[in-house]
Amino acid sequence: MTNAVLEVRNLKVAFPAPGGVIRAVEGIDLTTKKGECVALVGESGCGKSVTALSVMKLLRTPPSVSRIDELRLDGRDLTHLPERDMERIRGKDMAMIFQDAMTALNPVMTVGKQIDEVYRRHTKLSRKQARKETVKALELVGVPEARSRADSFPHELSGGMRQRVLIALAFACMPKLIIADEPTTSLDVTIQAQVLDVLKSMQRDHDVSALLITHDLSVVANMADTVYVMYSGKIVERAAVLELFTDPWHPYTEGLLASVPRLSDDKQAFVQIPDTVPHPMHKPDGCYFHPRCSHGGPRCEQHMPRLQTLQNGRQIRCWHPLHQERVT
């Protein structure tokens, strides 16, 4: 596994609350390879954002409590790394693109200054040199008139522009891993297409590994190489993107794919998954998905299926995965 950039083993996160414990993440493993874009897909409340923050070790105790067996970035063991060393890694080797640019950017600092900061913190550049790099970074992400735009404040820029600034911030020091948490959800359709294009080309051109957190399957289809499907804190399926979309094994994945209306459809009713996601404090016995699943059996109500890994890399957590039913 020398090609691995991110290795997460057995991450568990819980949030104690009056009345119980919120089981946000229940023991997940993640790996990304160099230059690979890995997507973590799930709905709100499934624990994916918490996972992203855990990888960056940005979760505070309190309010969270987390356990992790192993966290490696490009071979380096970060599991027990003290905070001071983590600060040197964040921004330089590992960077994050947040969903909402308005809250991720400092409103009283020009965008140029914010990107300069990253350079000056992690490299030995002078102020002038850092500004040169900043302008280059802004040009790279497609901000027109980068030199003068660098002196704008975040609120003076449009949504798409701000998102590009976030991308420039993240790529500034050419990190090994970029974590993008819903990078385009709040943007308009045409702007979304632009921004994703930039992200994709940046990632591919510089061979940067990416962890893409999203609930939007269409973004996944267009950007990811490998997909992890997360449900209520657990990974229920993992597959290469093409396989996942053409041959989903987990009933939840199938339901998710079916419920997304497509332009290519002829008019049809909306396929829905009945009921809702389980409450993070009161999860059902057995498989968390079984109350909504139409493929289940008696076993599903009693025992949580184990996550099984196949040689070709596919993973599935289900007692009655779909591909078996097709074979028989």
Q: Which stretch binds other proteins (CB under 8 A): 74-82, 98-106, 128-136, 239-247?
A: 239-247
Show contacts with other proteins in window 284-303 (CB under 8 A).
299, 303
Q: Which of 77, 151, 197, 205 binds other proteins (CB under 8 A)?
A: 197
Show contacts with other proteins in window 120-179 (CB under 8 A).
144, 158-161
How many angstroms separate the CA atoms of 202 and 195, rounded? 11
Binding flag, residue 309, other proteins (CB under 8 A)? yes
Show contacts with other proteins in window 244-283 (CB under 8 A).
245-246, 255-257, 259-265, 267-274, 276-277
Q: 15 or 119, CB closer to other proteins?
A: 15
Phi-psi region of 20 (alpha: psi -120 to 50; beta: other; left: phi over 0): left
DSSP characters for 157-211? S-HHHHHHHHHHHHHTT--SEEEEESTTTTS-HHHHHHHHHHHHHHHHHTT-EEE
Q: 76 or 279, CB closer to other proteins?
A: 279
Q: Which of 83, 189, 282, 294 binds other proteins (CB under 8 A)?
A: 189
**Token pair belonging to 230:** 């997360």
Q: 95 or 229, CB closer to other proteins?
A: 229
- Which residue in 165, 75, 183, 51 sits closest to 111, CA to CA? 165
Binding flag, residue 311, other proteins (CB under 8 A)? yes
Q: Which of 27, 35, 284, 291 binds other proteins (CB under 8 A)?
A: 27
Contacts of 14 by beta carbon, 8 Å cutoff, 6+ apart: 21, 22, 23, 24, 64, 65, 66
Residue 265 CB, shortest distance to other proteins, in Å, is: 7
Pairing of strands 226-231, 209-214: unpaired
- Which residue in 176, 228, 169 sits closest to 198, CA to CA? 169
Q: 21 or 109, CB closer to other proteins?
A: 21
**Token pair belonging to 70:** 């192993």
Q: 91 or 280, CB closer to other proteins?
A: 280
Binding flag, residue 222, other proteins (CB under 8 A)? yes
Instruction: Say how many residues touch other proteins, by CB under 8 A.
Output: 77
Q: Which of 81, 215, 225, 291 binds other proteins (CB under 8 A)?
A: 215
Judged on CB neighbours under 10 Å (0-12, 13-18, 19+), 208 is buried
Residue 266 CB, shortest distance to other proteins, in Å, is: 9
What is the 3-state composition of the chain as percent helix, strand, coil, each rounded to the nearest 5?
A: 35, 25, 40
Q: 20 or 88, CB closer to other proteins?
A: 20
Binding flag, residue 196, other proteins (CB under 8 A)? yes
Residue 315 CB, shortest distance to other proteins, in Å, is: 10
Q: Which of 5, 23, 131, 135 binds other proteins (CB under 8 A)?
A: 23
Residue 187 CB, shortest distance to other proteins, in Å, is: 9
How many other CB atoms are there within 10 angstroms of residue 197's CB atom?
A: 13
Q: Could you give the angle at the alpha carbon of 322 between the alpha carbons of 295 and 292, nearest 5°?
A: 30
Q: Which of 56, 65, 81, 125 binds other proteins (CB under 8 A)?
A: 65
Show contacts with other proteins in window 83-122 (CB under 8 A).
none
Q: Which stretch binds other proteins (CB under 8 A): 107-115, 122-130, 168-176, 183-191?
A: 183-191
Q: Which stretch binds other proteins (CB under 8 A): 105-113, 145-153, 204-212, 308-316?
A: 308-316
User: What single-letter DSSP state applies at residue 260?
Assistant: S
- Which residue in 227, 252, 231 sits closest to 241, CA to CA? 227
